Amino acid sequence: MSEVGAAAGSKKTPEKDAILPQKDLTHLFKAKSVAIVGASANPDKIGHQILRNLIEGGFEGDIYPINPKEKTILEKDAYPSVTDVPNFIDLVVISVNANFVMPVLKECVEKGVKHVIVITSGFSEVGNAREEQEIKDIADQFNISLVGPNTLGVVYPPNKMNTSFGPRDVILGKIAFISQSGALAIALMGWTKMEKIGLAALVSVGNKCDIGEEELISYFNEDENVDVITIYMEGIKDGRKFMQTAIKKPVVVLKVGRSQRGARAAASHTGSLAGSDQIYNAAFKQLGVLRAQSFTEAFGWARCLSLPAPDGNDTIIITNGGGIGVRTTDECVAAGIKLFDDPDWLEEKFRETMPSFGCTKNPVDITGQAPADAYQKATRIALEEDRIKAVLVLYCETVITNPLKIARSIAGEYKKSGSKKPLLVAMVGGERTREALHYLNHENIPAFDSISEVVDGLKVLYKWQEYKERKLDKPDIKPPPQEVLDIINNAKKEGKKILLEHEARKILELCGVTTPKWGYARNLEEALEIAKGMYPFAMKIVSPEIVHKTDVGGVVLNVRNEEGLKLRYNTMINHIKEVMPAAKIEGVNLIQMVKGIECIVGLSRDPQFGPAVMFGLGGVFVEVMKDVAFRIVPFGKVEATRLIHDVKGNKILDGFRGIVANKPSIIQSLLAIQRLAPYVQECDINPLISNEFGSFAVDARIILE
């Protein structure tokens, strides 16, 4: 993060902003020895369930139940305290009453333990933030990686390690799942098992007093057992820290609390702070994180994201049913997925895979009679052709064909091909079809019972490809020139909260935002002088007492000549003297009228993510359609371009009724305004008028801290 972004944070002290060295998480997952404090012989106790899951899950390292009253539990030797264990302990799981957690943690410190999971609840989620902070302080002081408190535990199938009190079995796979809800984690463990979705890790992060999403993503980035990371999130602790996370593998986030009411419900559930959902959206996009809308979508995407990404745009659809072929075509078109098109080649290659009434056009309809070997042939042709970059295979259950055999032949062909391009399957039918779907998912071929999901899965692969290939945007936001700081400091000394309009425009100019020709005149004589060569222009009153200039007749538009200037100047001054005799009139601003496309650019602060820049098109777009988008400061040219593109009406910039906007100068404005982030509370350029010659800050408002 650049200097600007760092200095621009919320009210935190600089010490807190310093980034602690990344804690090592290796033995949180690849522990060779685990102690369970609170292990119990009573099967109703969580401490018993965890121990049993660990043992029966097949953990091959050392297991130490810690219980002062028992000699052995589940045939394992028990110890009164972790300090009594004769060997080194990689990981301690604490499941005791809340008031015993701190003493146990201190014993862990004494024992030199570096990884701790605190299962126990009763901390910040019930308002007890003080004790949670004490735990966090100890963890930081002794460089302990601490998961929790208030967690279900950690499950890491590659190490056969289940320290949770959830279900014992999950299927080994390549997806790491991070959940802020323990209850949901339990339910989804069962669901993934049923759907044959494999997991590489499950971390219930609980209150996230120490280890949160950021640390886990960083660890999984380097973990060879993980291909994709999915996150269920109710809120982020520190948005700016989150923005520093490197995204090296696909990350799919389900962030709930989109609506205000939902955010309130989340707050009462885990005490998460609610940030604006639009800002979360911006942050995810900027970071390259994929945002899903539901559990099934998140895991559907995750399954697909373990496939090789398509290295081009031509997709083929192989189907045994016309109806689902049409459905899939519709969805592909809606998703912007291009279908491969070479009718002659398709006819030549695919004709032999189908009866005479089949259709070789893409979607390739091998007909309802198609048996496994027709699927096999068609799949092979599609996989072998270099021009085809992605393959969608569809099956509609029939009475005379065998879905499992068909699934086997598709999977076999895909494996034989060396899997260099993505292949996804959708199958519609009853129990036999479900069995086939499970088989495919077990074989790591993403298979769905719905057309929407299979196309969505391919779409997200393209999206991830785009994120990966996106040029790395190195924001280089320089501090503003000294003159800007001088203006701001002077204004502060004078007790101003809002800068005068010409001060604001001056500051923006100094930062690199173009403005129309303008001038500040203290009287009519100065105005007549400045006005030369500037007609037509707008004239606005300057007075610290007048905030809403229009309301008192302090704004006139389209002053076209000297005669008009004299007349309208006098009218304005006289009128204001009459209606606001107390206002000190300092003069007028003259601003040349500019024609072009109205935009709006803003800088504000989010409680979670700090300074953020907004862009929108002016007029109906912002006022009626609320069509605006955001990025977190700092960002460079690439993100500025994407920000403009995020606005739905962006096409208007390419030309409307003969006027074309100047995108480079809009981008320039989006970069320039960031220079003010550490020094002002808010800045609005409204409108920024863009035309072929540039983009001009016609009106601006700056609010100081």
Interface with its own copies, residue 183, by CB under 8 A: yes
> Is 651 among the residues that bind its own copies (CB under 8 A)?
yes
Dihedral over Cα of 393, 399, 401, 405: its sign: positive
Q: Quick one: 308 or 649, whose CB is closer to its own copies? A: 649
Smaller CB separation from its own copies, 545 or 623: 623
Instruction: Yes or no: say if 192 and 299 are a contact pair by the CB < 8 Å rule.
Output: yes
Nearest residue (CB) to its own copies, 472 versus 624 = 624
Which listed range, 128-136, 363-371, 496-504, 571-579, lies at the site for its own copies (CB under 8 A)? 363-371
Can residue 329 be called a binding residue for its own copies (CB under 8 A)?
yes
Amino acid letter for position 596: G
CA distance 368 to 362: 16
User: Per rule CB under 8 A, is residue 252 in the interface with its own copies?
Assistant: no
Within 10 Å of residue 593's Cβ, how many Cβ atoms?
17
Q: Which two tokens mark 512?
A: 């690199």
Instruction: Tell me which stretch binds its own copies (CB under 8 A): 293-301, 384-392, 541-549, 663-671.
Output: 293-301
Task: Tell me if 224 sits within 8 A of 150, measured CB to CB.
Answer: no
Q: Does 261 bind its own copies (CB under 8 A)?
A: yes
Exactly one of 430, 533, 581, 658 binds its own copies (CB under 8 A); that residue is 430
- Min dist CB 343 to its own copies, Å, is 12
> Both tokens of residue 65?
């139940």
- Binding its own copies (rule: CB under 8 A), the pick from 225, 270, 417, 641 is 270
Q: Does 123 bind its own copies (CB under 8 A)?
A: no
Nearer to its own copies, 404 or 498 (CB): 404
Of the candidate residues 96, 451, 614, 640, the single one contacting its own copies (CB under 8 A): 451
Is residue 299 involved in binding its own copies (CB under 8 A)?
no
Distance separating alpha carbons of residues 695 and 264, to the nearest angstrom: 40
The answer to whether 433 contacts its own copies (rule: CB under 8 A) is yes
Q: Is 173 exposed, middle or buried (0-12, 13-18, 19+ CB in 10 A)?
A: buried
Tokens of residue 346, six digits: 């398709």
Binding-residue total with its own copies (CB under 8 A): 80
Q: Does 361 bind its own copies (CB under 8 A)?
A: yes
Candidate list 79, 123, 156, 165; residue touching its own copies; CB under 8 A: 165
**Please, what is the minimum distance in Å from the beta carbon of residue 155 to its own copies?**
13
Strands 364-365 and 315-319: parallel
Stretch that binds its own copies, among 58-66, 205-213, 258-266, 603-611 (CB under 8 A): 258-266
Residues 188-207 that bind its own copies (CB under 8 A): 188-191, 193-194
- Is 652 an interacting residue with respect to its own copies (CB under 8 A)? yes
DSSP helix/strand/coil, 702:
strand
Could you tell me which of 100, 110, 99 has the C-alpha nearest to residue 142? 110
Stretch that binds its own copies, among 59-67, 474-482, 540-548, 647-655 (CB under 8 A): 647-655
Which of 333, 547, 567, 579 binds its own copies (CB under 8 A)? It is 333
Q: Which residues of 335-359 are buried (b: 16+ CB within 10 A; e: fewer)?
A: bebebbeeeeebeebbeebbeeebb
Q: Which of the residues 467 through 496 are near its own copies (CB under 8 A)?
A: none
> SS3 of 369, please?
coil
The residue from 74, 273, 528, 625 that contacts its own copies (CB under 8 A) is: 625
Tokens read off for 563: 């005669």
Q: Is 212 an interacting residue with respect to its own copies (CB under 8 A)?
A: no
Q: Are strands 597-606 and 680-691 parallel, antiparallel or unpaired?
A: antiparallel
Give the side-chain half-sphere CA count within 13 A for 455.
Answer: 21
CA atoms within 13 A on the CB side of 69: 5
